[in-house]
Amino acid sequence: MRSAPFTALGTFAHTPKRGHLEIIEHGLVHVDASGIISDVIRPDQPRYQAVREQAATSGQLIEGGPGSLFLPGMVDLHIHAPQWPQLGQALHLPLDRWLNEYTFPLEARYLDPALARAVYPQLVQTLLANGTTTGVYFSSIHQEASEVLAKTCLDAGQRAFVGRVVMDDPSHCPDDYRDASARTGLDGTLDFITFVRAMTGNESALVQPMVTPRFIPSCTDQALEGLGNMAGDQQCRVQTHCSEGDWQHQFVIDRFGHSDTYMLREFGLLRPGSVLAHANFLSGPDMQTIAQEKAGIAHCPLSNAYLANSVFPLRQALDLGLRVGLGTDIAGGPSPSLFENCRYAISSSRMLEDGVDPARSAEERGRAGSRIDFMEAYWLATAGGAQVLDIPVGRFEPGCCFDALLVDPSGPHSNIHCHPGISDTAKALFQKVLYHLTRSDIRKVWVDGVMVLNQDR
Ligand code: GUN
Ligand code: FE
């Protein structure tokens, strides 16, 4: 899809650097015909009036309107598409039982691609409507259903990274939901990579394939090694789960005598752009390894509260220079919204800092210096996620793709209320948006300069 060139006029808020909120009021953002931001002009710049008038007279001006904000679209680094019908279900169980009793039986049903055709368009539309312009997806082990997912993202105009899941270890995967052999998983992955790269309409690689071993416990050594080689040969990003909860973390140590991170590197799966979901139980050396390999972490704060037995030490990871973004982990996390996950990333970092057990003294209750603030949370969901994937989105800067949201809280169903003289500055509005936005506030969504959702229509 190509967009006509246009100029957006309004208040732009973004976090181009971690911890730094920049607000451009009455800004002009010019987007070229390939959806790339070619210019960002502030009202005090000499060419401002001329550019604005030129855009208005040629019918290429898109105005945000009073009280609205343009924000960068969000990058959800971890979504399990086939689990969408299970959102908000079965979260009373620990990870291994949740997988075996609910999740694997549901995913097995995508052998029938009709289920994928029924579920995936609704999932992708819901994510776009919640502001997710880039989605990183696990599909299932099925070729056809995985192809339906890739095609659905492309048709909807969502930037997406999609993986056909590999799980082949007979001792840890159910008989009716497992690759028949390591070879089946490897051949299926290569076929899927080829399919996605050749999809008609995907010439700009809006949708890209990912090599996707589910996690070490579900894969044989042969599959893990083969997928590591394939990621290198095909220059294809990797996604997997890493040291999620006590059970997964210990499982890998018992099997290999080494941590998840160490073994992922051994198998060639830690590469630039590799997305490790959760990674809650990393040692200091594990963190250094991930930073060295330029892999990244999908921090999934809501899911972690249910399945990970701990709070991810986010501040420590960031201070060590790790690349980190946010993930919903649908359906381990019960919300499709990255705004909701921003809120929970902030709250859980505060709980880690102060600790949670009032029976302990204040000194021994928490981990000092663990908190993040609202600006860092938004950075994680936008520029941070983009850095993990090494893609030019998440900021309003020349050279970046115009993946953006227009947030307008003036509708009758909004929870966002500003009060003249008290909380009516753009910075106050940004904070209210971060803490209170619901999907009805997101009026328009663009990916690559193409408007993919318009609630005003
Ligand atoms: N570990 C292996 N598979 C899964 C999954 O589907 N969700 C989560 N949260 N963890 C996993
Ligand atoms: Fe997951």
Is residue 356's pLDDT more than 80?
yes
* C-alpha–C-alpha distance, residues 214 and 272, integer Å: 18
Give 301-326 pLDDT, tens digit per residue. Answer: 999 999 999 999 999 999 999 999 99
Half-sphere exposure of 139 (CA within 13 A, CB side): 32
Provide the residue count of the chain: 457
Please report the atom of ligand 1 found closest to the CA of residue 303.
9
- Fold classification of 74-389 (topology level): TIM Barrel (3.20.20)
* C-alpha–C-alpha distance, residues 179 and 166, integer Å: 7
Is residue 33's pLDDT more than 60?
yes
> Which residue CA neighbors atom 3 of ligand 1 most closely?
214
Task: Point out the least confidently predicted range of 73-77, 205-209, 423-427, 437-441.
Answer: 423-427
Give 36-84 pLDDT, tens digit per residue. Answer: 999 999 999 999 999 999 999 999 999 999 999 999 999 999 999 999 9
pLDDT at 355: 97
Token output for 95: 């990870």
DSSP strands (E only) in 167-305: 207-213, 239-242, 275-278, 296-299
Max alpha carbon distance in the chain (Å)? 68
Mean pLDDT over residues 188-206, rounded? 98
Higher pLDDT, 422 or 329: 329
* C-alpha–C-alpha distance, residues 116 and 170, integer Å: 25
* C-alpha–C-alpha distance, residues 261 and 215, integer Å: 11
> Which residue CA neighbors atom 9 of ligand 1 most closely?
332
8 Å CB contact between 76 and 327: yes
Mean pLDDT over residues 404-433, rounded? 93
* C-alpha–C-alpha distance, residues 117 and 131, integer Å: 22
**Structural domain spans, the chain:** 6-72+396-454, 74-389
Model confidence band, residue 423 (pLDDT cutoffs 50, 70, 90) = confident
DSSP strands (E only) in 269-381: 275-278, 296-299, 323-326
Taking all residues of the chain, what is their mean pLDDT, rounded to a whole number? Answer: 97
Locate tokens 């949370």: which residue?
Answer: 377
- Fold classification of 6-72+396-454 (topology level): Urease, subunit C; domain 1 (2.30.40)
pLDDT at 4: 81
Q: Is 144 buried (19+), middle (13-18) or exposed (0-12) by CB count in 10 A?
A: middle
The closest ligand to the CA of 239 turns out to be: 2
Per DSSP, the residues of 1-58 read -----EEEEEEEEEEEETTEEEEEEEEEEEE-TTSBEEEEE-TTSTTHHHHHHHHHHT
Token output for 122: 């609704």
Is residue 2's pLDDT more than 70?
no
Residue 333 Cβ inside 6 Å of ligand 1? The answer reads no
